[in-house]
Amino acid sequence: MTTTTRRRPDQDGSATVRTDGHTDSTTYQRPSLTVREIEVLISWFRCDSKPAVAASMFLSLGTVNTHLTRIRQKYAAVGRPAPTKASLVARALQDGLIDIDEL
């Protein structure tokens, strides 16, 4: 069985993912997300819909969509596209923004 370990991103925005049993590691660039973008992202992971996120955070649906669009653009800009909700969850887990137990 292969065990994957991860650590929090470095100050420079990069993070290292190591897989036990392998000698190499993968380093990737973490996008610079604002605190509010992270809050919207995590709220969206926990909600059934974007309108529910908007209501719970006292934002318009347009604002929620804008935050999510910018997050996707930032991931694409560092070569880590995340076009779906599932891929954004994967990126957030990789970057240490959220733990699987928090979902």
Q: What is the mean pLDDT of residues 81-85?
A: 96
Distance CA 46, CA 98 (A): 11
pLDDT band per the 50, 70, 90 thresholds, residue 21? very low
CA distance 68 to 45: 11
Residue 48 is predicted with a pLDDT of: 87
Return the pLDDT at 28. Answer: 78
Residues 44-64 pLDDT 10s: 999 989 999 999 999 999 999
CA distance 44 to 14: 24
* Options 1.10.3470, 1.10.10, 1.10.3710, 1.20.140; CATH of 33-102: 1.10.10
Q: What is the pLDDT of residue 13?
A: 54
Instruction: Kindly tell me if the per-residue pLDDT of 8 is higher than 90.
Output: no
Going from N- to C-terminal start, the domains of the chain cover 33-102
- Does the reported pTM lie above 0.85? no
Q: Is the pLDDT of residue 70 over 90?
A: yes
Q: Where are the alpha helices (DSSP H) in the chain?
A: 35-46, 50-57, 61-77, 85-94
pLDDT of residue 16: 46
Q: Cα Rg for the chain, rounded, in angstroms?
A: 15
Check residues 23 and 95 and name the one with the higher pLDDT.
Answer: 95
